[in-house]
Amino acid sequence: MTILANDGISQSGVKALEAAGFTVDLTQVAQEQLQDYINTNSITGLLVRSATTVRKALIDNVPGLKLIGRGGVGMDNIDVDYAKSKGIHVINTPAASSASVAELVFAHLYGCVRFLYDANRNMPLEGESNFKGLKKSYAKGIELRGKTLGIIGFGRIGQEVAKIAIGAGMQVVAADKFIDKATLSLDFMGGHNIAVDIATQPMEEVLKVADFISLHVPAQKNYVIDKAALQMMKKGAGIVNAARGGVVDESALVEALDNEHLAFAALDTFETEPSPHIKLLMHPKISLTPHIGAATLEAQDRIGVELATQIGALLK
C-alpha cells in the first residue's frame, strides 16, 4: 500500500511507515492534479498539513483512498464528516505539536514586550545613523513576570502555554466552553514536578483582567475575538493568535491598535491565508510569522511517528 505525503513528512515518519510495510510517496502534487495522481498511482492513504485541501469533490472521485491523515491539530482543510461517511479513516496528531506552538507564543510575547519585532525592522535601516534615537524608542519595555496571561481555549496547546507562563512567573486565567478545570503537571530539572489546578472562567472575565491574550481555539464560522471582545480587553494589552485564521476580526484588530487601545498583536495565522492583508504585514505594532506554530524539527518528528503508528493500526 502506498501513502502519499503530499505536504511532506519527517524522515522518522517515513522510516516508521516503511518499517510497517508501506511505500511512502513524497511527491508534492498540485491541488488540481491530486485526483488523477491518487487514482493513477493507487494511493491508499493521503497525508496533508495545511497546504492541501481534501474536499467532497476530491473524496467522491478517489475510490481507492482508504485514509486521510492531517499532520497537526486543525482539520478545517478536510471535509472530515463526509470522508468518514464514505468509509475513509480520518486521523490527525493533536498532541504532537503542542509544545512547539506554545513556545512560539512566548517567542512572540517576549519579542513584543521588548519591541524586538520592530527593532529588527529598523536597526538595519537606522542603527548606524540613529542608534540613540532607536534606543530611546525601545527603552520602555516591560517584563512578563507578574503579569496576567489570559488563554482562550484550554485544550492541549492552551495548557502547554499555561505551563510556560507559570514557569515565567505569570498569573494564568483561562476560558473554555468545554473544560471546567484542568490539572497541569509541570516537570523541572532533577525529576522535580508540581501539579497546578486551573479552573476556567467566562471569556468576558478573562478578557477584562488579562494583560495579554493567547488564542487556542479551532476554526469556526464567527469571530471569537470581534470588535466588542477587543474593547473588553484592558487598555495597553496585547493579543497573540497562533490558533487559526479567522478567529480574530482583523479589521477591528487594526483599529484597536491604531487607536492605542491595544499595545501590540502577534499573528501566526491569518484570515486570508496564504495572502495576508497588506495592512497587517506593514503594521508597526504587529509581530508576524508565516503559520509556523508546529514547524519545529521535534514536532515534525513526533507528527510523523504518530501518523505512522495510527496508519499501521488502521490499515494493516
Residues tagged active-site: 244, 273, 291
For 78-103, give the DSSP string. Answer: B-HHHHHHTT-EEEE-TTTTHHHHHH
Half-sphere exposure in the Cβ direction for 2 (13 Å, CA): 13
Query: Would you say 104 and 166 are in contact if contact means Cβ atoms under 8 Å apart?
Result: no
The beta-strand segments (E) located in 6-111 are: 23-25, 43-48, 67-70, 89-92
Query: Would you say 148 and 210 are in contact if contact means Cβ atoms under 8 Å apart?
Result: yes
Query: Would you say 252 and 189 are in contact if contact means Cβ atoms under 8 Å apart?
Result: no
Backbone angles phi, psi at 16, to 5 degrees: -65, -40
